[in-house]
Amino acid sequence: MNELFIGLMSGTSLDGMDAVLVSFGDSTQDIKMIGHSYVAYEDTLKKSLLGLHLPYTNELEDSLIAGNIVSQKAYQAIETLLKKTGTSSKDIKAIGFHGQTIRHQPQKGFTLQIGNPALLAELCHINVIADFRSRDIAAGGQGAPLVPAFHKEIFSHPTIHRAIVNIGGIANITILNPETSISGFDSGPGNILLDHWSQTHLHKAFDEDGSWAREGQLIQTLLDAFFNDTYFEKTAPKSTGRDHFNEAWLNKHLQKSYSIQDIQRTLLELTALSIANAIKTHNANISEIYLCGGGALNSFLVERLKSLMPQVKIQLTDTLGLSTQHVEAAAFAWLAKQTLFSKPGNLPQVTGAKGLRILGALYPT
């Protein structure tokens, strides 16, 4: 019998809240996207969330207030979604609520996604499952990336060697090799630095289609300096976030006077090349790559990926039946299903955890 779950996702880009309504059937790959909605974050909320990534006086109170606002945004997205699809809240088994990551420090034993799942359960009258990453970290893992477990269930092929590349604020890669165990890791910056540079100099949230970067010139010495960062040398399991790749990280490399457009071009190459290098390093025999996340809609970035990996067929996850913009939110619907039915949601070989763990905390309706 098909069962309905809602997945919520607000990623590193801090643009807003995605909600998807997903039907899961009896078989592993029996998944149907029924509908989706999106609620944008206002500039004031974006500014608050961005500020919380670094320590300051009264950050504890501010984070709790911001978490309540994030939950209100989630409620708005859910209400819109239920109305659009003509679905009753009584028909939803649970909501997978990722929250908004403001700190990710697995090396210190913690990760923090703000949001108030108790408030969301009270508003929606639906079971809410949240805090998916903490148990994996408690078991010695990175707590990220979590989506490879979902990719394995939904996108695996019995004979074809594939990679799923999610280009959000941070880019993460899932290697689906039918002959070996699944692997996955964060390759480095996705849109996070590109969006910051576009917002700073164009006053636009992102560089649409990479059109601004396309007209710039690659600064090879700057690109080389970016790749001197030790993160790119680390082997999996590994994960990263805005704690590492941020404005301060970028500014320390900009000691010379470069054209701002050339910097954007070089940042795009950083994203493309770090993804290509990671795939080549971890497995060179991939025949298909499927892209998802906001960066998959950046046509110049996709062009660069195809140029860097000409031997591989690169497409969007849409061709596999799941829209590129909704894969991550759908993953958290799936993770909520795993939690509700007491099934593990992590892959120890991806996160480095001591073993399989049931993730998340339930806030019952």
State how beta strands 170-176 and 313-316 pair. unpaired
Q: 164 pairs with which residues across the strands?
A: 174, 290
C-alpha span between 247 and 183 (Å, rounded): 30
Give the CA distances from residue 143 to residues 65, 210, 340, 354, in Å, rounded to whole numbers and listed in that order.
Answer: 25, 31, 19, 12
C-alpha span between 132 and 138 (Å, rounded): 11
pLDDT of residue 222: 97
pLDDT of residue 181: 82
Domain of 229, CATH number, reads 3.30.420.40
C-alpha span between 278 and 13 (Å, rounded): 22
Range of the domain at 264: 147-320
- The tally of domains found in the chain comes to 2
C-alpha span between 226 and 285 (Å, rounded): 27
C-alpha span between 182 and 189 (Å, rounded): 22
Do 61 and 193 have their domain in common?
A: no
Among 83, 135, 132, 109, smallest CA distance to 363 is for: 132
Do 119 and 49 have their domain in common?
A: yes
pLDDT of residue 284: 62
Do 99 and 231 have their domain in common?
A: no
Do 179 and 311 have their domain in common?
A: yes
pTM: 0.94
Do 45 and 130 have their domain in common?
A: yes
Do 308 and 336 have their domain in common?
A: no
Do 14 and 115 have their domain in common?
A: yes
Do 111 and 87 have their domain in common?
A: yes
Whether residue 237 is preceded by a cis peptide bond, meaning omega within 30 degrees of 0, is yes
Do 116 and 226 have their domain in common?
A: no
361 neighbors 131 (Cβ within 8 angstroms): yes
Beta strands in the chain (DSSP E): 3-10, 16-24, 31-40, 92-105, 110-114, 128-130, 162-167, 170-176, 183-189, 288-292, 313-316, 361-363
Ranges of the chain with pLDDT below 50? none
Do 70 and 176 have their domain in common?
A: no
Do 170 and 302 have their domain in common?
A: yes
Do 280 and 172 have their domain in common?
A: yes
